Amino acid sequence: MVRRKLWVRVPPSILVIILKTGYMNILEKLNAHPDITITNYAHPVDIRDYANTDRKRGWLNSLQIFLEQGPKTHRYIQRRGFIGSCIYRFSHHGFPLKLATEGAIRNLSSGKRVTRDHIYSLNRTSEYLIKKYDSGQWNWDDVCRELPFLLTTILVTPQENNRLGVAQRGGKNYTIEDLFEMKHYTDNGFMLRTIPPKVTRTGKIRRGPTYYDGKLVTPHIKKLLI
């Protein structure tokens, strides 16, 4: 039997939930609380483990410097833009799941274009990092452990990617908590499927990109699987 670790970031004020709640309902209640991040990882993921080139180490170092310099040194919009640029340039593919929308699956089968959607939005992620770091809730170690989750990507069509971007910037104005709950996908009617393996002419399965399904798929993402 393999034990899976449940890593839970719980503000002290929320511990009363655990004291007043039966064991079977703890995870459900904690997961529903807006101030709590629950990550069901087999092992914790740390973005520093993937900084395997000088370029990636450089962008990660720049991100740390910009966070540490704080609001007294840089304007908010400047920090948000630069932090978003750092995490995108670290890996523009993000941390991909082996999942795609139905439209992207059709495009894959017909040879049409697909793209990777940062499902939690680079802008929202930048804002979230600034909020957590400036308030003292997170330190640099916390940022590094949370970034792989925040940089999760899913395959979508270019048209779907545009609709998601417009939704996040437009009238809906989703919060990052909305994105964690995949409301932008639900509101657009996007359902998800597993990406089929690529097979060579000889019948062998091609080695695809590294996926992080076992570490970064959340209950809200699972609800969209068909």
pLDDT at 113 (0 to 100)? 94
Distance, in Å, from the CA atom of 128 to the CA atom of 108, rounded to the nearest integer, reads 33
Mean pLDDT of the chain: 82
Q: What are phi and psi of 46, to 5 degrees?
A: -125, 125
Contact at 8 Å (CB) between 175 and 1? no
- The mean pLDDT value for 169-197 works out to 89
**Predicted confidence (pLDDT) at residue 22 exceeds the cutoff of 60:** no
Contact at 8 Å (CB) between 123 and 87? no
Lowest mean pLDDT, pick from 47-51, 102-106, 197-201, 203-207: 203-207
Distance, in Å, from the CA atom of 38 to the CA atom of 223, rounded to the nearest integer, reads 16
Contact at 8 Å (CB) between 6 and 38? yes
Distance, in Å, from the CA atom of 93 to the CA atom of 113, rounded to the nearest integer, reads 15
Residue written as token pair 């908010």? 76
What's the pTM?
0.76
pLDDT at 70 (0 to 100)? 87
- pLDDT one-digit tens code per residue, 94-147: 999 999 999 999 999 998 999 999 999 999 999 999 999 999 999 999 999 999
- pLDDT, greater one: 107 or 204: 107
**Predicted confidence (pLDDT) at residue 24 exceeds the cutoff of 50:** no
Distance, in Å, from the CA atom of 4 to the CA atom of 15, rounded to the nearest integer, reads 22
